[in-house]
Structure 1
Amino acid sequence: MKFVNRNGTLHFRKRVPRRFADIEPREYVWISLHTDLEDVAKRKAGAVWEEMLEAWEAKLNGDTEDHEQRLVAAKHLAGIRGYRYLPSSKVLKLPDDEFYARVRAVVRKDGTIDDREADALLGAVPKPKLTLSESLKEFWKLADDRTVGKSEDQIRRWRNPRIKAIKNLIDVIGDVEIQNLTADDMLDFREWWMDRIRNEGLTANSANKDIIHIANVLRTVNKMKRLGLDLPLSDLSIKECEKKTRPAFSVDWIKDKLLAPGALDGLNAEARAILLGMVNTGYRPSEGASLTAAQIRLDHAVPHISIEPVGRQLKSQYARRKIPLLGVSLEAFKQFPDGFPRYRDSAALSATVNKYLRAHGLLESPDHSMYSLRHSWEDRMLSAGIDDRIRRDCLGHRLSRERYGQGATLEMLRDQFTPITLCLR
């Protein structure tokens, strides 16, 4: 490599590779090595040329309309130049000396602006224009950690409310770009929900769930893609009336109706067994449906089920528990010791059971459902004077104080539950 001494400093001249012609207008470049010693120049030349090539590569990667690729390239180039990439709003707030150093660095010798250098040093990468529907697509990618450990059905049930909420918003205000979302847009959406609550008998809870899901989607996209938008998503919730609680089946209703001979014969065998399994365990329907052979332990000294995160997430950390099987629930699980493959990854269980119970007059009131068996189990434990810690452990609820020790053994649970156990007539 030959060096030229220009005003006491060694330089070398190299042709710009053709692949960089679109982002480097010069055919040749003169590169200063900032030394007048040839042995030093030889040591520095290779690294200086590699750095220049790396910078051109970054500019070439940034010569695209793809926002993500352009942003990555800008951050890379800023690092090569010795700066941290900052959005333009923060560049403007830098101390004068750094601000003007960045400005000078983006100006070519002929006075023109190097767009890729401006992207990198002045934070000039434009914010992506994402519509509401596009934001939802981005959200799935940005929030994929939230589905780790969930079953396919759990993922579907996690996604659907967010899909519905964004669709409802689009139906009201159109598929607007989120940077153009206004407070009036969100107030229009709130008013749309108020009309539905007044005219269709819907609840404020339904509206508030939509608002929460929309805020979660848009705030996640705004944060994770570093858009820096001031989204109008606060103070939109609708005041709820007194929350309607699910009533419990009375003991007499369970014994005289649900457990009457032939009452459940028309229900498919797996759904019937899961329903009967709830009677003396109070598990959530989805917990019973997802049990595997390894979790159904009929050959134990105290037959029981072990609710664990197998192939799915539990509702909370408190949901992991063991429940003894007694009476009608034990008999149901003896019929299905390997679990319930028909409903393990299906959301159809509750709808199937509730439709059957409704059609056959087996619901104690229009507000009752399959889930009312869980409430009934809690009432029966309470009536028997069973300790609050045991009740909460059995139902998979959080304890309002610190949990100490391992809790009741299966033998203790069996003995306390036996007096309130119901059996087939």
Structure 2
Amino acid sequence: MGIAKRGRLYHLRRRVPRRYCGVEPRETVWISLHTDSETVAMSKADRAWSQMIEAWEARLAGNSDDAEARYEAARDLARVRGFRYLDVGAVAKLPVEDVVERVEAIPATMDQLDAIEGAALLGAAPEPCTTVTKTLELYWTLAREKTFGKSEDQLRRWEAPRKKAIKNFVAIVGDKDIANITRDDMLDFRQHWLDRIEAGEVTANSANKDLIHLGDVLKTVNTMKRLGLMLPLGELSFKQGEARTRPPFSEDWITTRLLAPGALDGLNDQARGILLGMVNTGYRPSEGAALTADTIRLDCDVPHISIEADGRQLKSHFARRVIPLAGASLEAFKQFPDGFPRYRNSASLSAVVNKFLRTNGLLETPRHSFYSLRHSFEDRMLAAGIDDRIRRDLFGHRLDRERYGKGASLEHVAELVGRVAF
């Protein structure tokens, strides 16, 4: 790497790589290192050359036929030159001396300013169209911190409603540039959902979820891409209907129907094991399916399972907990000490179990489901007078007051659970 003095200051002299001949007419470049100290010049040379390469790469991208690539290249080139990219309107509002500084930073060849550099420093690069479907593509990267720790199945469940919301919007309004979305567009989308609610096809809660996910995608991209748009997303939600809660299975139904000899024989063994494990633990089905040999602990004084963020994301930090095993649940885990790999990364568990229960007359009412076992476990603990703090700890729920101390010991909780276990 050649360093030599030109006048008072040291410069870096390098041949232009062949890759950049299309955007750099010179065969050799001299880059000022802005110092008269050879030692300082040596320390700055690598960085100066890296910035030159970065600028040439941005110029190459600026020659692209892709409008978005050209726009991003202009932003990158402005940054390399030490400026923040501003559109031409914003540049025009700058103080005169700031505009002059930008103009003077534009390289000139044969008394003609470089067009690519000029577009970058004076904000003349046309901003690309960001359609609604393009927004969703950008969203996956811009919102990636929301996916940290999610399992493959959790990621699929997280993506699906956002894909659905965008697909629905495009079907009703069209794949518009998000800068051109109007209040009328959003009201048309809302009317579509209102018509479906009135027809009894969906609930208000379902419609609101679509509006929420659409808004999340648009607002995230608007914020993270610094688009500065005033999106017309306010006051669109529907009044929530009364929440439909799942009824619990009665104790008699569990003991005489679900736990009757042979009642679950037609269900595959791993799904049956998760169901039986839920009877006396009340875990969420996905939590049971995610258990592994490391989180199923049978060889200890108090057999228990540990709900942890092991290859998946927990519903909340309160969901991290330890649950003692007793009765039918303990026997089920003895059959599956390594967990249930068939359902560890599968979304089919609830559908498989609910279909089996429905087909075999094992749902107490049409409103009951597999999840009703969780509600039943809560009711049995409540009837047994088990303290609210212990119940919330077992269910992974937030406590409606400050949480003092470590809570009940595992031995004590095991004794309480044993009283209500089947």
> What is the TM-score normalised by the length of structure 2?
0.85
Give, as a single letter, the amino acid of the residue that structure 1 aligns with 2:362.
L
- 2:270 is aligned to 270
1:351 paired to 2:351: yes
Give, in whole Å, the separation in 2 of the partners of 1:253 and 1:414: 24
Are 2:291 and 2:339, in contact at CA under 8 Å, matched by a contact in 1? yes
Structure 1 residue identity aligned to 2:78: A
Shift of 1:78: 2.8
Aligned to 1:139: 139
Distance apart, 1:134 and its partner CA: 2.3
- In the alignment, the residues of structure 1 paired with residue 406 and residue 15 of structure 2 have an alpha-carbon distance, to the nearest angstrom, of 75
* Shift, 1:372, TM fit: 0.8
* Superposed displacement of residue 260, structure 1: 2.1
Whether contact under 8 Å (1:291, 1:307) holds in the other structure is yes
- What is the CA deviation profile of residues 367-420 of structure 1, one whole-angstrom value per residue up to 9, with x for unaligned ones? 111111111111111121211111111001111222222211110101112221
Q: Partner of 1:395 in structure 2? A: 395
Q: Distance between the aligned counterparts of 1:29 and 1:340, measured in 2?
A: 65
Deviation at 1:19, TM superposition (A): 6.8
| Structure 1 partner of 2:214 | 214
Displacement of 1:58: 4.2
Pairing of 1:11-22 with structure 2 (within 5 A): none
Q: Is the 8 A contact 1:250 1:376 kept in 2?
A: yes
CA shift at 1:132, angstroms? Answer: 2.0
* Contact 2:305 2:322 (C-alpha < 8 Å) held by counterparts: yes
1:314 equivalent in alignment to 2:307: no
Preserved CA contact (<8 Å) 2:16 2:29: no
Whole-angstrom distance in 2 between the partners of 1:297 and 1:261: 27
Report what 2:415 is aligned to.
415
Alignment correspondent of 1:366: 366
CA contact (8 A) 2:297 2:303 kept: yes
Residue equivalent to 1:284: 284
Aligned runs of 1:176-195 on 2, under 5 Å? 176-195=176-195
**TM-aligned CA deviation for residue 117 of structure 1:** 2.4
How far off is 1:147 after superposition? 2.0
- 1:8 — aligned with what? none
Change in CA separation of 1:118 and 1:145 when aligned onto 2, cut-off 3 Å: same
1:261 to 2:261 alignment = yes
In structure 1, C-alpha distance between the alignment counterparts of 2:122 and 2:218, rounded to whole Å: 26
How far did residue 91 of structure 1 move?
2.5
Distance in 1 (CA, whole Å) between partners of 2:293 and 2:361 is 33
Q: Secondary structure at the match of 1:322?
A: strand
Which residue of structure 2 aligns with residue 169 of structure 1? 169
Shift in CA distance, 418/114, structure 1 to aligned 2, threshold 3 Å: same
The one-letter code of the counterpart of 1:241 is G
The letter of the residue matching 1:181 is I
Helix, strand or coil: the match of 1:247?
coil
Mark the CA change 1:295 to 1:53 in structure 2 (over 3 Å): closer, same or farther.
Answer: closer
CA distance in 2, matches of 1:133, 1:399: 41
SS of aligned partner of 1:200? coil
The Cα offsets for residues 347-376 of structure 1, whole Å up to 9 and x where unpaired, read as: 111101111111122112211111111111
Instruction: Report SS of the residue matched to 2:351.
Output: helix
Measured on the aligned residues, the alpha-carbon RMSD in Å equals 3.8
Label 1:30 to 1:363 Cα distance change in 2 as closer, same or farther (>3 A): closer
CA offset digits 1:44-84 (Å, max 9, x no partner): xx98x979966556434422234564345434433454433
Residues 3-14 of structure 1 mapped to structure 2, 5 A cutoff? none
Query: Contact 2:75–2:120 (CA<8 Å) still a contact in 1?
Result: yes
Change in Cα spacing, 1:39 to 1:248, as seen in structure 2 (3 Å) is closer
CA change 1:385–1:67 in 2 (3 A) is: farther
Question: Which residue of the partner structure matches residue 11 of structure 2?
Answer: none
CA distance in 1, matches of 2:92, 2:100: 10
For residues 147 and 89 of structure 2, the distance between their equivalents in structure 1, rounded to whole angstroms, comes to 35
> Are the structure 2 counterparts of residues 90 and 265 from structure 1 closer, same or farther at C-alpha, using a change threshold of 3 Å?
same
Aligned to 2:65: 65
Residue 120 of structure 1 is matched in structure 2 by: 120
Instruction: Give yes or no for contact 2:71–2:127 (8 Å, CA) kept in 1.
Output: no
Deviations 1:235-294 (A, max 9, x none): 211111221212111222222221222222221111112111111110000111111112
Report if the CA contact (8 A) 1:279-1:329 is conserved: yes
* CA separation of 1:138 and 1:3: change in aligned 2, threshold 3 A: closer
* 1:384 to 2:384 alignment: yes
- Supply the AA of the counterpart residue of 1:176: K
